[in-house]
Chain A
Amino acid sequence: MLSLIPVLIGVTLLVFLVMQLAPGDPAQIMLGPKATETAVAQLRHELGLDQPLLVQYGRWLIHIVQGNWGRSIQLKREILPFLLGRFGNSAYLMLFATLLACSVGVPAGILSAVKQYSVGDRVAMVLVLIGFSTPIFWLGIILQILFGLVFGILPVSGLQSPGRADLGDLIVHLILPSLTLTTGATAIIARMTRSSMLEVIRQDYIRTARSKGLSERSVISRHALKNALIPVVTVVGMQVGYLLGGDVLVEIVFSYPGIGLAMVNGILARDFPLVQGAILLVASSYVLVNLVVDIVYAYLDPRIHYE
């Protein structure tokens, strides 16, 4: 738990430095090309940009902790509330995608392992390879063409239809983006579940369970599954990182108003405070998710202890 603190400090330092290295003077960018030199120097002083780097980092970190994330250059509004709102939208998408990935990937992996080398297993494993070889942004476009243009049954962009704010409408808008986002994760989870399951069903206690006459169904569901799912938990946790990254691309394809779209628009508009905030928010949430995964892992597997 405490080892999290150096990592989080490292993350903030890296985010800070990466944005510091960006070419161009933030004060100049904020004031525009026509600003006088005195005005730029004045703003640099006000922003503390004339201070040593370490002092700047310390100040910035204190502000971040206090919840004062600064104002966006492009949007002219407070960054933190804006980003939190956007992050909420992305969270819907990610939650949907994770649920889909688990509810398809885990059963597919189990079936594949139980019927190893069957036609179904082979087909599933080829599909898995195709699943994580597919560029996510391309898949999004294909789904848009199919469901939006050819069949015309699902909305292809945004979060809500104009003038509607009900849950049904939201869910309909989430279908294509989360389907796109989930494909790679589903593939990896299915593959991991399969190999974990294969390892478990070769162990002695499973042979014992079979030889005492338990039905195959009971052996798999009551004895094998529990142990097989432990490594899968880690993979699901790792997929959250994949989903957070893929989310950026999916949000661009579907013009989905999440944190990824905000980040990319910020980069293209050279709105560095906003980009910095967005990256920090996503990275810290990833660190926290990993912590939760570690805790769940230790809870599920009594052999694991964390100091």
Chain B
Amino acid sequence: MGGAVIARSPTQEALQRLRRDRMAVAGAMLLFCAALVSVLAPVLAPQDPTQTNLAQRLAPIGTPGYPLGSDELGRDILSRLIWGGRVSLLVGFGAVIVAMGFGVIVGLMAGYFGGWLDSVIMRLIDVLMAFPAILLAIAIVASLGPGLRNAMLAISIVGIPYYARIIRGSVLSLRELEFIQAARIIGAPDLRILTRHVLPNCLSPLIVAATLDVGWMIMAAAGLSFLGLGAQPPTAEWGVMLSAGRQFIRIAPHLSVLPGAAILLVVLALNFLGDGLRDALDPRLRQ
């Protein structure tokens, strides 16, 4: 008589594998803290992030009342970093959701229906992918005009082909499998097959790609702001802070070092988590 066999769902198994990955856990915790700080920004930030104080310009780190110093207009850097995180996380996750939403719809249609629809969609995707990603985002913002919302829209558009391709690839391999064929034979409508049978089976590559992509989106949005094409001053946003701080790099390097370090930490956390998720969801890939 063998011991009791505990049946676990694949999701539970994946979560358990994820919990054993120390880097992924560290990433998830860091990300959770960053999200918490962003949500609680109105409570946590010691000052209004746009409140200027010309008597306290360029205060160094550790100045009373300004734990991380102040910028060229005497604004509290800690408060600006906290509020900036809110913007960056919102833009990063928001852009991924938009890009993934459109990419999934387009990829599902191309992969499932095939034929001329697939050809047209794939040619369009080829064209979008013929541009270096950030360059395409710059071109779109140049056309729509600078601003945070347009920057977010631009990086979302740039992200669509990435998801469409992942989904299309998964659908192509799923389409011929017996359970999909069976659903078709019993007369299930296409929409039901796509949403109930195809999509759930594409979720793992999607989750991994999205996690890694949030990091890219955050960096791209900060990059656009850095170029003057994204968020505009006086908004507290990490890219804007970095760009403004550059003028004072000789006398107050912390103005540009701190926001960049914040971006690095959040993106690193996302990459740790994304790598861990990939290993956990697809153990065959583990090396």
> B-contacting residues of A (Cβ < 8 Å)?
6-8, 10-11, 13-15, 18-19, 21-23, 116, 129-130, 132-139, 141-142, 144-145, 149, 195, 198, 241-242, 244-246, 248-249, 252-253, 263-264, 267-268, 272, 275, 279, 282-283, 286-287, 290
Contacts and interface: CB of A to CB of B under 8 A. Distances in A.
B275 interface: yes
A11 B249 contact: no
Contacts, number: 140
Interface string B249-278: 110010011011101100110111001000
A11 B250 contact: no
B126 interface: yes
Closest 5 CB pairs of A and B: A138-B260, A10-B127, A245-B134, A245-B132, A133-B268
Nearest to A246: B134
Given A138-B263, A244-B132, A6 B249 contact: no
A14 B250 CA distance: 42
Interface of B: 123-124, 126-128, 130-135, 138-145, 215, 219, 222-223, 226-229, 239, 242, 246, 249-250, 253, 256-257, 259-261, 263-264, 267-268, 270-272, 275, 287
A130 B268 CA distance: 6
Given A245-B134, A267-B138, A133 B271 contact: yes
Nearest to A116: B287
Contacts of A136: 223
B265 to A, nearest CB: 9
B126 to A, nearest CB: 5
B143 A21 contact: yes
B61 to A, nearest CB: 15
B227 A141 contact: no
Contacts of A272: 142
Contact of B131 (A23, A195, A283): A283
A129 B275 contact: yes
B139 A15 contact: yes
B250 A264 contact: no
A245 B268 CA distance: 20
A138 B256 contact: yes
9 contacts: A7-B126, A11-B130, A134-B264, A149-B249, A195-B287, A253-B246, A272-B142, A283-B135, A286-B130
A82 to B, nearest CB: 18
Q: Is the interface of A mostly helix, strand, loop or mixed?
A: helix
A149 B264 contact: no
A116 B267 CA distance: 25
A279 B131 CA distance: 9
Given A135-B223, A149-B250, A241 B133 contact: yes
A299 B259 CA distance: 46
A137 B287 contact: no
Contact of A137 (B145, B226, B253): B226
Contact of A21 (B134, B144, B246, B270): B144
A18 B138 contact: no
B87 to A, nearest CB: 15
Contacts of A248: 134-135, 138, 227
A283 B127 CA distance: 10
A268 B124 CA distance: 29
A279 B130 CA distance: 11
B286 to A, nearest CB: 11
A197 B253 CA distance: 41
Contacts of B228: 264, 268
Contacts of A252: 226-227
A242 B132 contact: yes
B221 to A, nearest CB: 11
Nearest to A12: B127
B19 to A, nearest CB: 20
B120 to A, nearest CB: 11
A268 B228 CA distance: 8
Given A129-B268, A135-B222, A286 B260 contact: no
Contacts of B130: 7-8, 10-11, 283, 286-287, 290
A144 B248 CA distance: 12
Contacts of B250: 149
Contacts of B287: 116, 195, 198
Given A14-B128, A130-B264, A130-B268, 16 more contacts: A8-B130, A11-B131, A13-B127, A19-B139, A19-B142, A21-B143, A21-B144, A22-B145, A116-B287, A129-B275, A133-B267, A135-B263, A135-B264, A137-B226, A249-B223, A268-B228
A19 B143 contact: yes
A290 B126 CA distance: 12
